[in-house]
Amino acid sequence: MFHVTVKDTYDEVSKAAFSVMKSVLYGDHAPVLGLATGSSPVGLYKEMIRDHQENGTSYQDILTFNLDEYIGLPRDHRESYWTFMHVNLFNHIDIPDENVHVPLGCGENPEADCAAYEAELAKHVVDVQVLGIGSDGHIAFNEPGCPFDSVTHLMDLTEQTRRDNARFFDGDINQVPTKAATMGLASIMRAKKIIMIATGSNKADAIRGMMEGPKTVDCPASILQDHPEVYVFLDREAASKLSK
């Protein structure tokens, strides 16, 4: 079930998304958060940092699980998702390091590392999962064709995704890793609530596919049509191809 909010600016989208995050953070137990990287959730993370600083919301007992990580980048690489999360959120809140989980992209046996990540994730219930969407309809790094019953696994990135992400690698697609470790679609669907954030006209087709297209592995995000509680936060451009 989709609950859709459309706002004029990225700032307003981020603040609206924070209202769902806040209800989870201020709930009756220390939650487990599923987190995403990329441009879409940065404004939400700024709101979380502001709330931590102004209202003292503590992350001491909160666990986090990130969606994905590039294969082949050391954790301290400036574009690893480990670094991204520390720069954009973890370094600014009081979360203990041992509460943070990001898939390992630089181990000697990436498949075993994926299995270990899934096993750890399966011990918990994610209260809210933050998602962005790829222009090709991917969620996490589950690219078109990825089975709906997938759990944490290795994925070859599509050329479109590598082109989209080249902006983080000096605009050079050749520097963008070709593979990622990613939570699977079935792993994501276990979360109790989902926050989807998408802005910009390059997301309009993917958002239409997610909400109004057929449920198909060609648009991995369309699996969310089966989720009971998805909060979708869009700007007008990202919403521009929706029929209603």
Neighbours of 208 (CB within 10 A): 18
Kindly tell me which of 36 and 55 has the beta carbon lying closer to ligand F6R: 36
- Rank residues 53 and 91 by Cβ distance to ligand F6R and give the closer one: 91
Q: Clarify whether 159 is annotated catalytic.
A: no
**Active-site residue 153, yes or no?**
no
H/E segment holding residue 64: strand 63-66
Q: Which residue is nearest to ligand F6R (CB)?
A: 132
Q: Is residue 232 at the binding interface for ligand F6R, with CB under 6 A as the rule? A: no
Q: Which residue is listed with tokens 């802005």?
A: 199
Residue 143 is a catalytic residue: yes
Query: What is the smallest separation between the CB atom of 111 and ligand F6R, expressed in angstroms?
Result: 19
Which of 13, 18, 31, 37 is the binder for ligand F6R (CB under 6 A)? Answer: 37
Residue number with CB closer to ligand F6R (36 or 224): 36
Half-sphere exposure of 236 (CA within 13 A, CB side): 2
Maximum pairwise Cα distance, the chain: 49
Between CA 207 and CA 133 the distance in angstroms is: 8
Position 14 contacts ligand F6R (CB under 6 A) = no
144 sits near ligand F6R (criterion: CB under 6 A): no
Residue 78 burial by Cβ neighbours in a 10 Å radius (0-12, 13-18, 19+): exposed
Stretch that binds ligand F6R, among 26-34, 91-99, 139-147, 214-222 (CB under 6 A): 139-147
Q: Which is nearer to ligand F6R, 53 or 163 (CB)?
A: 163
Alpha-carbon gap, residue 189 to 25, rounded angstroms: 20
Q: Is 40 in the site for ligand F6R (CB under 6 A)?
A: yes
Asked if residue 36 binds ligand F6R (CB under 6 A), the reply is yes
Calculate the CA 3 to chain-centre distance: 18
Whether the Cβ atoms of residue 235 and residue 9 lie closer than 8 Å to each other: yes
**Nearer of residues 95 and 197 to ligand F6R, judged by Cβ:** 197
Q: Residue 199's closest CA among 44, 20, 34?
A: 44
Q: Site size for ligand F6R, by CB under 6 A?
A: 14
127 catalytic? Reply is no
Token duo for residue 17: 């998304």
Shortest distance in whole angstroms from residue 29 CB to ligand F6R: 25
* Structure tokens belonging to residue 233: 């936060």
3-state secondary structure (DSSP) of residue 196: strand
Catalytic residue among 47, 69, 118, 138: 138
**For binding to ligand F6R (CB under 6 A), which residues are involved?**
36-40, 67-68, 132-134, 138-141
